[in-house]
Every structure is written in structure tokens, then in C-alpha cells.
Amino acid sequence: MVGQLALMPQIQNKFPKTRYQGSKSKLTNWIWDKLSTLPFDTSLDAFGGTGTIAYRLKQEGKQVTYNDALKFNFWIGQALIENSETYIDGNEVDWILKAYDRNYPTFIADTFPDIYFLDEENVWLDKVITNILQLRDTYKRSLAFFALAQSCIIKRPYNLFHRKNLYIRTADVKRSFGNKTSWDRPFESWFRHFVKEANRAVFCNGKTNQATHREVNEIDGNFDLVYFDPPYISDKGVSVDFRDFYHFLEGLAHYEQWASMIDMKSKHRRLTPRPNEWTNKKQIYRAFERVFQRFAESILIVSYRSDGIPAESELIRLLARYKSEVHVHRYRNYQYALSKNKTSNEILLIGC
Ligand SMILES: C[S@@+](CC[C@H](N)C(=O)[O-])C[C@H]1O[C@@H](n2cnc3c(N)ncnc32)[C@H](O)[C@@H]1O
């Protein structure tokens, strides 16, 4: 039965709902519509994030390589893209959630009191990540990690870890926003929920797909088509630093090394920052240029915003250096609340 389900992806399988900055989950059909007539079999999703675009390509029978610089995302890519036939069953979930007669580490409880989660939740996290890391099967481990990471995200105000703001959740106030029911639902209950979501997403498309964990400049191999959805830098030069916004999940994915990665001077115990040319308005031009040159033999696809840095016209010019035809598609017009004449469009550039 499981085998039959696994071979009928379009009908049976469902990509989990995402709660991640810049997720393209609402645009997958639109993007696929623009790619469907292009001649390609092998593909790379170079800035994979939640994996929603890689998954859509997998559903369409393409051979897919998912990549993301962050390890927590890589594990999610491994669970949902590379994995074609491994599931976690109820006994395994019970095993992961049980406390064994051992001294569990207390790293999260000691390091993050009163920052993101309640004390007893921090103790639970130390136990469950320790149990997950004992799983010997790579895909069961990454599926379980997916469920743990989603449980952490959904229990956070704004679904982020950028501030020490547990008080938003615990304050006894009348609320006009937020989802206190989700924040207060126990970790264990969310974990079981997200294991089901992950299991539902697993399928085989008959190809060998893989997940990698590289800086974009260090990805090996050649692909018929490469899709780039890098962090977006606004025209004011403001960008999303994913490693900073989701540092807690990146720490969890490096649980045993986490202590050495933390900037203990920061109130919210972030990871020590690392430079990234994709979030630097002076370096991003060169970063685009380098990847276009590196993958110049491939069909190049870029998701960006029309009002960013680089500007749409600059991206087109850059692509045209490597590709003879450049097409631009616009999803829809968004108007900024405070500006009557400035619009920001989600754009898809195709260089072939
Ligand atoms: C806009 S998000 C991608 C969203 C994704 N398409 C989705 O639908 O979920 C950009 C991603 O690029 C990753 N990233 C940032 N800098 C990177 C780099 N230098 N190399 C590879 N990945 C990087 C981030 O971790 C983040 O997940």
C-alpha cells in the first residue's frame, strides 16, 4: 500500500504548509506554468529554502538537486526531496518522544531560559533532539528533524527567532494578533502532527534526487536548468539574513557544536554572524554575475522582486551577457501602503 501511494505523487502527495520568509509555496503553480515548456530533465534549486520549488519539479518527474547553505534546510531537503521511500511509523515517533534512563544534555535549557520557549519546553527540546540524533537511518532522522523544526517555528510569535520575546506569548493581555493557541499547543502534539505532514509528502518520482548543503558558489555538477531564489535586498539596502532569523533551527541542526557557534553577547543568543555576499548590497551584483557565469550552459531562472537591488533592468542586463534570450514574467502588482506610485512585482526571469 505504501509503495502504491509513493508512485502516485500528483494525486496523493502534498507538500507541507510553509512558515518561512520568502517561501514560494503560493507561486509554485505559476512558476511551473512558465517552466513547463522548457527543454530540461536535470535541475538545481540552488537556494532551496523550504524545498517547495524543488518538490514541484520532483512532482513533474524532473531529476532534482536541492541545495541550501543552512544545514537545517538541507535536512528538510533530504527528508522531502532526496528521500523517496522512507517514512516514520507510530512506534518510532513514540520512541523519539520517550525519556530514557540517561543523563540528557541541558544545553537548550541552560542557554535559552526565558528567550523563546518555556523552561519545560526547553528540557523537552534537549531530550528530543538527543533522541533524534540517535536514529541511524538518515531519512528517518531528517524526517524527524523536519517535524521538530516545524514545531519550533509554529510555536514562535512571527515564526521567527530574531528577538528575545517569549513575553509576547506569556503576557496576560487582550490580544489583537498572534495565535496563542498554536504557541501553547504542546510540542509533542505538534511533533506528531508534523510527522504526519512529512510522511504524506514522501514519494518516488523514478529519479535519483539529492539534497546538498553548500554555499551556492561551491555546488558541483551540471544541470539542464538552474533556479535561483536568493535572499532579496530591498531598494533601501535591507535584506533578510536567513541564518540570523532562523539561528535557533541552525543551532539545533548542529546540536553538538552549537555552544561554540553562539554569540553569547547577544540577548537572544544568536549565532556569531558570518558574511554573505547575497545579503550585501555592494556585493550582490558580483554574486549574481558569478553564478550566471558558472552555470552559463544551463537554462537560468531567477525569482526576484522588481524593486530590489539589483534592479530588474540590471538583472536582465546581467543575464543577457550569458544567455541569448531573456524573458520576464510578473506575478501581480503589489502596491506599498504608503506610496501611490511605487509598485513591487514578484518577477521570474528566464534566460535561455
Ligand atoms: C528566498 S529563500 C528561498 C526560498 C525557497 N525558494 C522557498 O520557496 O522556500 C533563500 C534561501 O537561500 C539560502 N541562502 C542564503 N545564502 C545562501 C548562499 N550563499 N548559498 C546557498 N544558499 C543560501 C537561505 O538559507 C534561504 O533558505
pLDDT in tens, 170-184: 887 777 655 888 999
DSSP H helical ranges for the chain: 2-6, 9-12, 28-35, 52-59, 71-77, 90-97, 107-111, 119-134, 138-154, 166-170, 180-184, 187-201, 242-245, 247-253, 258-261, 284-294, 312-320
Q: For position 9, what pLDDT does the model report? A: 46
DSSP state of 271: B
* CA 229–ligand 1 middle distance (angstroms): 7
* Ligand 1 touching residue 212 (CB < 6 A): no
Q: What does the pLDDT look like over 72-121, one tens digit per residue? A: 999 999 999 999 999 999 999 999 999 997 799 999 999 999 999 999 99
Q: For position 151, what pLDDT does the model report? A: 98
* Ligand 1 touching residue 218 (CB < 6 A): no
Nearest CA to ligand 1 atom 17: 69
The number of angstroms, rounded, from the C-alpha of 245 to the middle of its chain's C-alpha atoms is: 12
CA distance 310 to 347: 13
Identify whether the C-beta of residue 26 lies closer than 8 Å to the C-beta of residue 19: no
* CA 138–ligand 1 middle distance (angstroms): 23
* Ligand 1 touching residue 65 (CB < 6 A): no
Q: For position 337, what pLDDT does the model report? A: 41
Tell me the whole-structure pTM to 2 decimals: 0.93
Choose the weakest-confidence range: 132-141, 167-176, 282-291.
167-176
Ligand 1: atom nearest CA of 45 is: 6
* CA 174–ligand 1 middle distance (angstroms): 36
CA distances from 126 to 120, 147, 173, 228, 237 (A): 10, 15, 30, 35, 38
Choose the weakest-confidence range: 140-149, 155-164, 195-204.
155-164
CA angle 324, 325, 326 (to 5 degrees): 125
CA distance 149 to 113: 19
* CA 305–ligand 1 middle distance (angstroms): 15
Axis crossing angle, helix 187-201 with helix 138-154, rounded to the nearest 10: 130
- 165: containing domain: 2-351
Instruction: Supply the mean pLDDT for the chain.
Output: 92
* Ligand 1 touching residue 279 (CB < 6 A): no
Q: For position 264, what pLDDT does the model report? A: 94
Q: What does the pLDDT look like over 266-287, one tens digit per residue? A: 999 999 999 999 999 999 999 9
* CA 228–ligand 1 middle distance (angstroms): 9
Ligand 1: atom nearest CA of 47 is: 12
Q: Which of 15, 30, 47 to mutate to test the pocket of ligand 1 (most atoms within 8 A of CB)?
A: 47
* Ligand 1 touching residue 242 (CB < 6 A): yes
Rounded mean pLDDT of 321-328? 97
Q: For position 178, what pLDDT does the model report? A: 56
What is the percent of the chain with per-residue pLDDT over 70, rounded to a whole number?
Answer: 93
Q: Quick one: 179 exposed, middle or buried, by C-beta within 10 A (0-12, 13-18, 19+)?
A: middle
**Number of folded domains that form the chain:** 1
Give the pLDDT band (50/70/90) at residue 8.
Answer: very low
Give the pLDDT band (50/70/90) at residue 12.
Answer: low
CA angle 203, 229, 59 (to 5 degrees): 20
Rounded mean pLDDT of 197-223? 97
Q: For position 342, what pLDDT does the model report? A: 58
- Give buried/exposed letters for 261-293 (b at 16+ CB in 10 A, else e): ebeeeeebbbbeeeebbbbebeebeebbeebbe
Give the pLDDT band (50/70/90) at residue 18.
Answer: very high
For 38-83, the DSSP string reads S--SEEEETT-TTSHHHHHHHHTT-EEEEE-SSHHHHHHHIIIII-
CA distance 23 to 5: 27
Asked if the model's pLDDT at residue 5 lies above 70, the reply is no
Give the pLDDT band (50/70/90) at residue 303.
Answer: very high
Rounded mean pLDDT of 140-165? 95
315: its cell numbers? 538583472
Parallel, antiparallel, or unpaired for β 326-335 and 343-351?
A: antiparallel
Q: Higher confidence at residue 126 or residue 172?
A: 126
Give the pLDDT band (50/70/90) at residue 48.
Answer: very high
Nearest CA to ligand 1 atom 12: 47
* Ligand 1 touching residue 50 (CB < 6 A): yes
Q: For position 334, what pLDDT does the model report? A: 45
What is the percent of the chain with per-residue pLDDT over 90, rounded to a whole number?
Answer: 85
* CA 301–ligand 1 middle distance (angstroms): 14
Ligand 1: atom nearest CA of 18 is: 9
DSSP state of 278: G
Give the pLDDT band (50/70/90) at residue 333.
Answer: low
Q: Taking the CB of residue 158, how many other CB atoms lie within 10 A of it? A: 15
